Amino acid sequence: MSHRTAGADRFAWVPRFAVMHVMKAYPRLTACGFSSRRSPDFYADRAEMLTDAFLREVDRAENLLRCYRKTKIVSYLQTSYGLKHRAERYAREAGADRGACYVSNGAMIVAAVVEGFVIKRVGRSSPNVFINISARPCRDSLYADSSRCREPSDHPSEPWAAPGRSNVIPFPGPLA
């Protein structure tokens, strides 16, 4: 049995500490994407990023991102909001219930950072980001069937290990 299905409250693939590191690296990031601290729901949306439901959303987003290649430059054709909808479609195609397919914009951004993609804000007032992601998945059929999609490690103590990857999570700046 895969660790991904080993239990509803076991999140070996998206540990809370990884989300906390992303939150520290991007202080204006919320579950809804980037936001102004003047927003009335800013702190509630930030707190939502540490819930089990949000971790499941990040996991769904990572499942999609593993089927795409990173490009050398940020693609200005794809935003986190568009990719969030692809992740929801992908989850439905993989057999998840319609209610269990939701992925927030913030979850897609967190997943991109954790997976090592480069992000760039669309604009100062936009909650969305551009990502250095290829325009097409590794294969046009159901994304998960692609042999080029990176598979996560089956070793629970190394949740970030995947073929060709180190266990170091890249972040844009110092986290201390």
pLDDT of residue 139: 57
- Tens digits of residue pLDDT in 134-146: 887 765 435 544 4
pLDDT of residue 126: 92
Helix (H) or strand (E) holding 59: helix 52-65
- Tens digits of residue pLDDT in 144-173: 444 434 444 333 333 433 444 443 344 454
Q: 105: Cβ–Cβ under 8 A, 6 or more apart, which residues?
A: 31, 32, 33, 80, 81, 84, 127, 128
Residue 109 has pLDDT above 60, yes or no: yes
Residue 116 has pLDDT above 70, yes or no: yes
